[in-house]
Every structure is written in structure tokens, then in C-alpha cells.
Amino acid sequence: MNAILVAIIGLGVFVLGYRYYSKFIAERIYRLDPNYMTPAHKYKDGVDFVPTNKFVLWGHHFTSVAGAAPILGPAIAVYWGWLPAFLWVILGTVFAAGVHDFGTLAISVRNKGQSIGTIAEKFIGRRGKILFLFIILTLVLMINAVFAWVIANLFITYPASVLPVFIQIPLAIWIGYAAYKKNMKMLVPSLLALAAMYFVAVITAEVSWLQIDLVSYMGGEEAAGLFGLGAVSTAFMVWIVILLIYVYIASTLPVWKLLQPRDFINSHQLTVGLLILYAGLLLTNPTINAPATNADADTSWLPLLFITVACGAISGFHGLVSSGTSSKQLDKETDARFVGYFGAVGEGILALISIIAVVTLFSSVDDFSATYSSFNEANATGLGNFVEGAAILAGGLGIPAAVATTIVSIIVVSFAATTLDTAVRLMRYIIAEIGTEYKVPSLTKKHVATSIAVVSTAALVLIPEGPNGFGSGGYLIWPLFGTSNQLLAGISLLLISIWLKRQGINYAVTLIPMIFLMFMTLYAMFVQVFFEWAWYADGSNLLLFVLGAIIFVFAIWIVITSIQALTGKFDDELEKHRNDE
């Protein structure tokens, strides 16, 4: 199969989806009003509520939701063959992710910029809201812990990427100052910053002493490190501590000082990266040697495909970003279509090239089968396969392999760092909401809530011994990520459906993907909890069984409550609750 043809079909579907389907949703379903005063103007505080140019906000939103997940999920999912992953990415992006991300942004803007967790109380009551916040908090904590591990691991594996990534921070702060204090446009400075990063990347890729290689500084992989740890484990610990100090500062600064300009740079970085990869695809014209479907798979694609590819098809985390940080910065309500729906399309484009980069890496079907010999092996090698495959595509433009690998690793680290920063900020919001809910004022304080977020992340990363060695404690509960994340997306679509119904608007566009996603997610969760993790199953895991069972029960509870709300049977109780407030 020719890879260019696959790319053309996928990109064509994305273009049609944004041009026609998102326009229909904006005008006929969400009914955006250009004159509506958004929370960014109504509650403007210069810290979280900041009216922002839609292109800058798209940069923040896109890079926050992208992370490494739209790369990693598809890179694993090709284990079942490239066709199922391809179909889920393009159809999921157009009919589920775009509607979901757009909808959570619109509903938050119409509700004071509140998070989807807080908004839940209006539709499914206080108890449903508390259960929902618990699921959200668990999900965000997992993301923080695992993304910290991923970034630390990439810094160790690709030390040439460290200096370019760190140079971005002062450049972003300068751009933020110039834009908001000197009224300078962001576009040209951010492009220059990106050029500076890649210039440094070219140098660090070729000049070894500019590579920040902590393991080599300590004498190599076999050398002893600190506190009885080896050199690699010590390097992990040092990078994780540095990352958590960074995200503490980044997530408490006003959004215009670092978050917005850095994310705007990263949006250019992604655009440039995608142009390089798609141009490399055209020039190299590779053939897909992976099978369309893998008949020898040891794990069924149904329903696991739909929780393995989350970001890149649909992801509940996107709703947290839409209703957490993006809604507080939306300048005009009509910008929600570009920020929300096109943000999902951008991620779909990234997921598509991730699939192509991986499935064109192999010289034959046997070569693919040897690498993707099992689902566990696909999980272990997926990200590395993408980096190798993407570097080959970039090499089609004449970029040396070392430079191409460094640039690809910079892109992955930058997105993962952006997601980590936003996730810690979101966790601060959620902790503050819980503090408000239970009348604990100290939890609503910015630095108290951020400290809890950072310390709990550090504890999960460093204290338990994870399956990937020291520093990978987050992976102990990472198997819950896929179902928790998709569960969150399904519940968010359900809440949007209730919101639309109460306004007398046709809610089929959100209800249909909700039913599909909720069925697949609960199906996957039931199989994992009761047939893979339970004490009587082979390879049982009591930690995952207990946590998974709790989330599963909470999910069933929320779904029943939501259906009651959707059918109107819950209206009397909600009205009584509002009157009691």
C-alpha cells in the first residue's frame, strides 16, 4: 500500500470535516454569538482570565492537548494493523473529538469559564460532580506522573535535545513580555525563537560536549550515582526534580508570561515538524509493509483499540483543557470553532503521520511482526519506532539522521512538557474546586493547591517501584489511563447533550458518539477489571483491580444519573438542590 495515498485520504477527510461539519455545529448546534461577552473579558484578572488572539490561543490549546499521546497511542495501535488505527483516527477526529473539544469549550464559556467537573453539578447534582472530580483528579495525576517519566527518559536517551528545549524558556518569557508590555506581535519573534532552537539543535546533534548527558557525567550506565542508586536512576531522579520545579513555577505564573508564548512557539514547531514529515513522505514515497489487519494478534482490537488511541481520535483530557485554561482565554465566542474543533483536527493530523511513520519503518511484514510480536512489545517499543520512522521521513529532505532524531525528540519533549505544565495547572484548579466544595479555604490558595499537585506527582513517580524501573511509579496505575480518559470524554459528551437538550437544540451530534464511546469504554473497563486484574485472573493485579473497580462503579453511577437527567427524571431533585443552595 502506498503511504502517500493513505495520507491524502486522511487529510482530505479532515479538510471536509472542518470546512463543513464544524461549520454546521457552530451555527446550528452550539449557535455561537460573536457579541457574547466571554469569561476572559468578564472576569479578566491578568493571570488565568486573559483575552487572547485566537491563533495564539490555538497554539496553547493544541500543544496542551497534543502532548506525546497522539504519537504514542497510534504507534502502539498499529499492532492490530494500520487500517483499524487509520479509520479510528480520521472518523474519531471528525465525528467525536471535534464535537467534544468544541463542545466542552462552548459549554464552559457559557458557564463562567468553569471546568467541566464543576459544570457537572448543574446537570447531575452534587454527588455526581464529586464522583466526576475524583475520576478527573486520578486521570490528571496519572498524566503528570507518566509524562514526567517520559520527558526524563527522553532527556537521558537524547541528551542533544536538552539544551534546545531549555533555551525555549527564556525566549518564551521575553516574547510574552514584548507582546503584553510592548504590544509587539508574537508571530515573528516566535518564529525566530523556533529558528534559534533548531539552530542549537543542529549544533548539539554534532557537538557531543554540548549534550547535557547526566549519565556520562557520572561515568556511564554502569557507574554508581547518588543515594545508592545507579547512574541512570540518579539521572532520572535529577531530571524529575528539575521538571517538577519547572512546572511548579510555570503553572503558577500568569498565562501570558510563559504558557502562551511557549505554546505559540510549540505550535509553530509542530507545524514545521508536520511539514517536514509530510514533505519527507512525498519525497521518499515509502511503501507500507505492515499488514492492514494483524490476524496473529494476541489481544483483540475490540474494544482495546478505542482506549489505546485516545488523543488523535478523542480524549477526555481535551475537555479538561478546553474548559480549564482555553475557555478562560477565549476572546470571542466564535473563536471556539477554530480553537476547539481545529485543535482536534491538528491532533488528528499528528496521529495520522505517527501511523505512517511507524508502518513505513519496516522492510517487510516479517520485519513488522518481529518488532510487534505481542501487544506488550508494541507498548514497549511504540514511541521509539515513531522516532526512528519520523527520522527516516525527515531524512528524505536531506536532513542528517542525527539532526533529524534530535529535532523529533525536541518536538516530543516540548509537547510532553506543555501537557505536563497544563495538567499541573488543571490539577490546581480541581484541588481548589474540591476545597470550595468541602469548605477548606486553604486548598483554594494557588500555592497550596500547586504544592499538593507537585508533591503528589513526585510521590507517585519516585516512591513506588514501577514496571519500567526507578522513577516509573506512575506506570503502576497507567493501565487505567485509557479507560479513565475515554470515560471522561463520554461523560463530557453526555453533559453537553443534556445542556443542548435543555436549550431545545438537536443533541444527536453529541449523543451518538457518546453512546459509541461509552459502550466501548465500559466494555474495555469491564474486561480489564474483572478478567485481567481480578485476583482470580492470570496476571492479577490487586491495585489495578481495586482502583479500576471503584472507577467502574463511579462510572455506572454517573451514567445512570446522567441518563435520568437527560430524560428529565432528575429535574425535580436538581431543582430542589438549587433551591437549597
Average pLDDT score over residue span 444-449: 92
Are residues 111 and 30 in contact, defined by beta-carbon separation less than 8 angstroms? no
- Per residue in 324-336, pLDDT (tens digit) is 889 999 999 999 9
Distance CA(440)–CA(418), nearest Å, equals: 30
Q: How far is CA 386 from CA 69, 85, 93, 147, 460, in A?
A: 12, 15, 20, 17, 27
Lowest pLDDT segment from 25-39, 77-91, 271-285, 414-428? 414-428
Are residues 548 and 477 in contact, defined by beta-carbon separation less than 8 angstroms? no
Distance CA(471)–CA(406), nearest Å, equals: 23
Q: Please name the amino acid found at residue 362.
A: F
Closest-CA residue to 154 (of 373, 366, 471): 471
Number of domains in the chain: 1
Domain CATH number, residue 121: 1.10.4160
For residue 450, how far is the Cα from the chain centroid?
Answer: 20
pLDDT over 90, % of the chain: 44
Query: What pLDDT is recorded for position 67?
Result: 67
Q: How confident is the model at residue 573 (pLDDT cuts 50, 70, 90)?
A: low
Q: How confident is the model at residue 575 (pLDDT cuts 50, 70, 90)?
A: low
Here the cell at position 152 is 526524563
For residue 206, how far is the Cα from the chain centroid?
Answer: 32
Largest CA distance in the chain: 69
Q: Is the pTM of this model over 0.85?
A: yes
Distance CA(340)–CA(25), nearest Å, equals: 12
- The torsion angles phi and psi of 230, rounded to 5 degrees, stand at -75, 175
End-to-end CA gap in the chain: 62
Average pLDDT score over residue span 481-485: 87
Query: What pLDDT is recorded for position 581?
Result: 41
Ramachandran assignment for 31, one of left (phi > 0), alpha (psi -120 to 50 degrees), beta (any other)? left
pLDDT at 408 over 80: no
pLDDT at 318 over 80: yes
Q: Which residues pair with 230 in a beta bridge?
A: 224
For 393-447, give the DSSP string: HHHTTT--HHHHHHHHHHHHHHHHHHHHHHHHHHHHHHHHHHHHHTT-GGGGSHH
Q: What is the mean pLDDT of the chain?
A: 88
Distance CA(374)–CA(331), nearest Å, equals: 48
- Domain containing residue 474: 3-579
For residue 274, how far is the Cα from the chain centroid?
Answer: 17
Lowest pLDDT segment from 32-36, 350-354, 442-446, 460-464? 460-464
Average pLDDT score over residue span 60-76: 83
Query: What pLDDT is recorded for position 41?
Result: 96
Distance CA(551)–CA(135), nearest Å, equals: 7
Here the cell at position 305 is 483499540
**Rg (alpha carbons) of the chain, rounded to whole number:** 23
Distance CA(374)–CA(410), nearest Å, equals: 29
Query: What pLDDT is recorded for position 115?
Result: 87
Q: How confident is the model at residue 293 (pLDDT cuts 50, 70, 90)?
A: very high
Q: How confident is the model at residue 580 (pLDDT cuts 50, 70, 90)?
A: very low
Closest-CA residue to 568 (of 522, 513, 524, 502): 502
Helix (H, G, I), strand (E, B) or coil at 185: coil
- Per residue in 233-246, pLDDT (tens digit) is 899 899 999 999 99
Return the C-alpha torsion angle 387, 390, 396, 402, nearest 10: -20
Are residues 430 and 117 in contact, defined by beta-carbon separation less than 8 angstroms? yes
pLDDT over 70, % of the chain: 97
pLDDT at 570 over 80: no
- Per residue in 151-173, pLDDT (tens digit) is 888 888 888 888 988 898 899 99
Query: What pLDDT is recorded for position 415?
Result: 75
pLDDT at 579 over 80: no
Average pLDDT score over residue span 58-84: 87
Closest-CA residue to 329 (of 45, 14, 17): 45
